[in-house]
Amino acid sequence: MISWSYGGDFINQETGDAAFDTEPVQRAMGFVNTLVVEDQSAPVPSTEGVTNYRIGMNMWGPWTSWYIMRDVEFDWDVVPIPMGTEEVVLAWGSTLAAFKSSEHQDEVRQFMEFFLSPDTQYQRSVDWAWFPPGAAATEIEGFMEVDVLAMTADQKQFVIDSVANGRAPFVHREEARLQNIYDQELSLVFAGEKTMDDALAAIQDGWQDILMG
């Protein structure tokens, strides 16, 4: 996502090529390198948490307020993600689908209509801290109360407004292999065993082999 905020992406959406050799991605990863390696103002990703007082910001979904932050003993808030030249947030969700071969098309359709109805979305927010994807559910009386999702009205509104800048990630059938290369190379950078430039070159080659294979 960091590359999006600099106007780039890890994969060229038009050609399908790896894009770690492009200027926007290199600027974005240079920013990460500055935070983690050079001035050490940010911890190595996935090693620290807000609740142990080691960092002051982390990127989570809106469910965090209920499952992680509701019992902390300090004030917290929802803020924009640090960005480069563009404001963008990760948009992710769950998908409902019915197989074409299903013998119960009507029943499936009825379930989906029930499951995605504003009332059911609202109830899932109350019971399971599930931020509703439909605007109608957020407009139901009581949704903005802090008891729902353990978020204030302002915090909920911030999440709702941020949807305008939402973007879904590119999904690839070899995503696990791609992620493994990325994680391994960055771990060498964070351990001081490799420069970010060398790691990006290695990721570029590794990803390109997979993407073009």
Determine, yes or no, domain membership for 144: yes
Both 145 and 121 in one domain: the answer is yes
Instruction: Convert the pLDDT of each residue in 129-164 to its tens digit.
Output: 899 988 999 999 999 999 999 999 999 999 999 988
Determine the structural domain holding residue 130 and report its residue range.
105-165
CATH of the domain at 10: 3.40.190.10
Closest CA to 199 of 208, 188, 211, 212: 188
Both 47 and 80 in one domain: the answer is yes
Average pLDDT, the chain: 89
Instruction: Convert the pLDDT of each residue in 73-96 to its tens digit.
Output: 888 898 888 778 888 888 877 788
Both 82 and 174 in one domain: the answer is yes
Q: How far lies 77's CA from each of 68, 116, 129, 177, in Å?
A: 13, 29, 17, 35
Under 8 Å between Cβ of 155 and 77: yes
Determine, yes or no, domain membership for 155: yes
Both 36 and 78 in one domain: the answer is yes
Both 172 and 86 in one domain: the answer is yes
Determine, yes or no, domain membership for 97: no
Give the Cα separation of 54 and 33 in Å (integer).
19
Instruction: Convert the pLDDT of each residue in 9-24 to its tens digit.
Output: 999 988 999 999 999 9
Determine, yes or no, domain membership for 135: yes
Task: Tally the domains of the chain.
Answer: 2
